[in-house]
Amino acid sequence: MSKIGLIIKREYLRRVSKKSFILLTFLTPFLFAALVFVPLWLSSIKGDEVHTIAILDSTGKYAPLFEDTETYRFINSDQSMDTYRQIPDKEIFAFLAITEDLLENPKAATLYSKKQIPGELSRLVNMTLKKQIESDKLATFNIPNLKEIIKESKINFNIQTIKWGDDGSEKQSSSVVASITGVIFTMLIYMFILIYGGMVMQGVMEEKTNRIIEIMISSVKPFDLMMGKIIGIGFVGLTQVFLWAVMTFILITGGTFFLGGGTESEILRSSMALNTAPNITAIAVQQSGNEWIETLNTINFTEIGILFIVYFIGGYLLYSSLFAAIGSAVDGQEDTQQFMLPVTLLLVFALYAGIYSMENPDGPLAFWCSMIPFTSPIVMMVRVPFDVPLWEILLSIGFLYISSIGFTWLSAKIYRVGILMYGKKPSIKEMLKWLRYK
Amino acid sequence: MNFLETEDVVKQYAGHLALNKVSIQVPQGTIFGLLGPNGAGKTTLIRIINRITAPDSGIIRFNGHESCPEDIYQIGYLPEERGLYKKMKVGEQAIYLGQLKGLSYSEARKRLIHWFEKFDIMPWWNRKLEELSKGMQQKVQFIITVIHEPELLIFDEPFSGFDPVNADRLKQEILELKAAGHTIIFSTHNMSSVEEICDEITLINRSQVVLSGNVKEVRERFKNNTYILNVRRETGEIEELRVRKEDPISNSEWLTKLASQYEILSFTEEIPSMNDIFINTVSGTNTPKA
């Protein structure tokens, strides 16, 4: 086996056989799923306690409107407030006092309780009363069939977006779904570059501080050692991506199979309901689950998957070679900060550019940042679900790979000198000087 | 025949000349002492021989040809700063490093078992390196250096970190390797070990070769007509005298003269120790033409 092959093999096997890698790889998808579904599930749990609400309605008009729900039971009471106030009834959770016709005096209804009134209850009361007041108000106009007219004029509207293919074919698209997909992949690529690039740096520093480096490079060329490490760790990353893809697939198909088709739309509905903006909730709830699945299907996951791998490899190579150069130049963890900062800033900038590009995936920010090699792996992933022209993708990949190779070459030169330098922390200027060493 | 030669090797680092026209000759099958104070340039020269760094100018001849990348398979290097992968199992690690030196997996394994048994460290095969004592780690490191049976071995301070028993054991191993025909470059500050095992030396000071040659010859060269006399005084007590022969007369003439003053019990010429030679040479005094 060639030496670089031996190094790749060692770096790879050592890392994938670690308990922490195995645990993290298999638990993360469940953790993510839990992160999404546990709050949904928790919010859907109703307290098993049923609260009793006593209604003291002096008008007698509103009390019959309240219907019992799973959590609230409404009872009519003809006793006065003061009686209750003086002799507290433990059974009663809250009192709704309505003293006048609400159309004439909207402030005539009040909720009293010894406890904090839950938002859910006040919303329920508001909705019930509002509906009645609205219809009372409408009735005052004395227009026949007004209710029916209003009902008919409430039209559901949500614009359909269709994207034309080059051959004129129509494709239904949803910018919301595309955005979410893009952001997920962007976050993933950002995370992978940061985690695995950092791993390369740690590995280089380990060899340097262990002083094994001198033995290693008396057997192999520094370039082979560096590349072996970068490639080996890169494979670890790809292994993780692959395992996650397989597990996600199994979780989703398994989940759909066990829960049945209907549940999925329910989950989507409830996930949308979490969103506080009421108009979005309205749209989402009215859109059926099947439609969501349909738009999800318009996204070309194979293309995204392939591009994800291509951009991951390019971006990882670019950044990890920089991380390797940094790791070689410093003596210990505490010295890395100064050099890490610019690299991390670049990555964070790329992430922000990616998130802002989501709003306008064909705008100038998105375009240029998906061409510049340091940001392109991250920003392009946002744009890909929106169908980027092929020439842009090819150009951006071209730039990325050319600069990856260039930076690997430069980093190798710094690495070669840096790994044998102990003591003083070098300045950037000195590191640039190393580039010219024989 | 010289197994290794360097000719006018120059290496410049930013603002400092590490090696200034350094030429050494290492004869085949000998133990060659590469001496010099800290910072003289020894490590740089060793790294150049190991092809870890390249010289700015000068030639390195290895086994008769100009040094080429394949030569590293014929070099075993024990650096002064020891180090191995702390978290890796000893056996696995040694096999890996043997493979990097060009051995096949099975060959590396076979040879390692032989060495591990020889050093009685077989039970440590599946332990992580960090669980071993310092001395044990040194043994492992030594084995890794010699595992691929290279023609040239470079030991940089090999005895540091060993107790006297193990240091002696190691010395015997080094002498055995020499007997088996290996050429050995031995870099150390411990001058008594130089006297014991080195055949040839080169002393580097401030990036330059200041002294070189056969150990016996070098010591002869530094003789300064000083003799040790054991005499008995008239009072009966025995005394050791260190006398310098100032006049250019023969030893027998001088002895006759001395014998008239003392009862001479023994008469030996003082041969300077390598330690004295080292200190004198490096501190700039008494520098004869090499």
Per-residue pLDDT of A207-235, as tens digits, reads 998 889 989 988 898 999 999 999 999 99
Q: Cβ A420–B53 below 8 Å, yes or no?
A: yes
From chain B, the residues in CB contact with A216 under 8 A are 100
From chain A, the residues in CB contact with B144 under 8 A are 215
pLDDT of A250: 84
Q: Which domain holds residue A288?
A: 3-41+174-434
Q: Distance, in angstroms, between A214 CA and closest chain B CA?
A: 7
Average pLDDT rounded to a whole number, residues A87-116: 81
Closest CB to B81 among A14, A211, A220: A211
- Cα B220-B226-B228 angle, rounded to 5 deg: 110
Beta bridge partners, B13, equal B16
Average pLDDT rounded to a whole number, residues A316-320: 95
Q: Cβ A6–B100 below 8 Å, yes or no?
A: yes
Assess if residue A61 is contained within a domain.
yes
pLDDT of A64: 82
CA dist A157 and A282 (Å) reads 10
Q: Give me A75's structure tokens.
A: 């009872």
Assess if residue A119 is contained within a domain.
yes
The answer on pLDDT for A59 being more than 60 is yes
Claim to verify: residue A131 and residue A202 sit in the same structural domain:
no
pLDDT in tens, A270-291: 444 444 434 444 444 444 455 6
Claim to verify: residue A274 and residue A148 sit in the same structural domain:
no
Average pLDDT rounded to a whole number, residues A131-155: 81
pLDDT of A274: 44
CATH class belonging to B2-219: alpha beta
Claim to verify: residue A29 and residue A109 sit in the same structural domain:
no
Assess if residue A78 is contained within a domain.
yes
- The contacts of residue A134 (CB under 8 Å, 6+ apart) are none
B149 — phi, psi (to 5°)?
45, 60
Claim to verify: residue A404 and residue A341 sit in the same structural domain:
yes
- The contacts of residue A334 (CB under 8 Å, 6+ apart) are none
Assess if residue A169 is contained within a domain.
no
Assess if residue A159 is contained within a domain.
no
Helix extents (H) in A170-221? 175-210, 213-217
Cβ-defined contacts of A50-53 (< 8 Å, 24+):
A51/A93, A51/A94, A51/A121, A52/A91, A52/A92, A52/A93, A53/A92, A53/A93, A53/A94, A53/A95, A53/A96, A53/A121
Claim to verify: residue A188 and residue A94 sit in the same structural domain:
no
Claim to verify: residue A73 and residue A104 sit in the same structural domain:
yes
Residues of B at the A interface, defined by Cβ within 8 angstroms: 14, 47, 50-54, 56, 69, 72, 75, 77, 79, 81-86, 88, 96-97, 99-101, 144
pLDDT of A405: 95
Closest CB to A219 among B81, B84, B100: B100
Judged by average pLDDT, the poorest of A13-17, A351-355, A382-386, B92-96 is: A382-386
Assess if residue A161 is contained within a domain.
no
- Check residues A153 and B149 and name the one with the higher pLDDT: B149
Claim to verify: residue A411 and residue A356 sit in the same structural domain:
yes
pLDDT of A38: 78
The rounded radius of gyration (Å) of the Cα atoms in chain B is 23
Q: Distance, in angstroms, between A208 CA and closest chain B CA?
A: 9
* Number of other residues whose CB lies within 10 A of the CB of residue B84: 20
From chain A, the residues in CB contact with B51 under 8 A are 218
Q: Cβ A219–B82 below 8 Å, yes or no?
A: no
Claim to verify: residue A14 and residue A75 sit in the same structural domain:
no
Q: Does A210 touch chain B (CB under 8 A)?
A: yes
The segments of chain B whose pLDDT lies below 70 read: 285-290
CA dist B105 and B101 (Å) reads 11
CA dist B268 and B259 (Å) reads 14
pLDDT of A166: 63
Q: Does A432 touch chain B (CB under 8 A)?
A: no
Claim to verify: residue A130 and residue A8 sit in the same structural domain:
no
Q: Cβ B79–A215 below 8 Å, yes or no?
A: yes
Claim to verify: residue A308 and residue A376 sit in the same structural domain:
yes
pLDDT of A118: 82
From chain A, the residues in CB contact with B132 under 8 A are none
Claim to verify: residue A66 and residue A27 sit in the same structural domain:
no
From chain B, the residues in CB contact with A6 under 8 A are 96, 99-100
- Check residues A165 and A266 and name the one with the higher pLDDT: A165
pLDDT in tens, B85-99: 988 999 999 999 999
Element (H, E) at A55: strand A51-57
Q: Cβ B99–A6 below 8 Å, yes or no?
A: yes
Q: Global pTM?
A: 0.77
Assess if residue A207 is contained within a domain.
yes
Last residue of a domain, one of A119, A153, A187: A153
pLDDT of A47: 61
Q: Does A219 touch chain B (CB under 8 A)?
A: yes
Claim to verify: residue A223 and residue A279 sit in the same structural domain:
yes
Give this complex's ipTM: 0.83
Assess if residue A160 is contained within a domain.
no
pLDDT of B94: 94
Last residue of a domain, one of A120, A153, A186: A153
pLDDT of B155: 94
Number of domains comprising chain A: 2
